[in-house]
Amino acid sequence: MAYYEDLSPCDYFGGRCGTVLRSVGWLERGKSYCDGRVDEDVFRKLELLLRDAWQPVATAGLHDCDLCAITAEKSGTKNLFIPSDGYIFVCPELITHYINAHHYQPPDSFCKAVVDCPTMRSMAYHKKLLACGGHILIEPPQVGDQI
């Protein structure tokens, strides 16, 4: 997995996606991150959304947590796309592990978007995703697009 600073454009899924995707929770050993308490409602909603996370692309390979001291206690393959105001937050599946085991504290704007996020795969979710520029995740690149 790649490292991205919180709220930075995320081009992990192709360069053109960086225009609408904002990174949250792309942590890596040796890189600083905010730590603190996360409201339990935010954590529980993240768990719920991750159960059936919408995946616009298939990813290859498993990502192990490299923040764990000796052996990775958690791994994941999914990403979570959370629509917000004018952009979409994207975080790795390991975000709940980072919060629980490593005291990671995501940005407040992300936490609010998580609480406000419609049920995954619902019509309301897809409408909100499209309203935030999510079409870039589901439409094939056009000739000349930066991939």
Range from 6-15, 35-44, 110-119 carrying the lowest mean pLDDT: 6-15
Tell me the per-residue pLDDT of 34-80, one tens digit each, with 9 for 90 and over: 999 999 999 999 999 999 999 887 776 788 899 998 877 888 889 99
Helix (H) or strand (E) holding 88: strand 88-92
Q: What is the pLDDT of residue 142?
A: 56
pTM of the model: 0.91
- Mean pLDDT in the chain? 91
Q: What is the pLDDT of residue 147?
A: 46
Mapped to the 3 state alphabet, what secondary structure does 6-72 carry? CCCECCCCCHHHHHCEEECCCCCCCCCCCECCCCHHHHHHHHHHHHCCCCCCCCCCCEECCCCCCCC
Domain regions of the chain by residue span: 15-54+69-138
Q: What is the pLDDT of residue 145?
A: 52
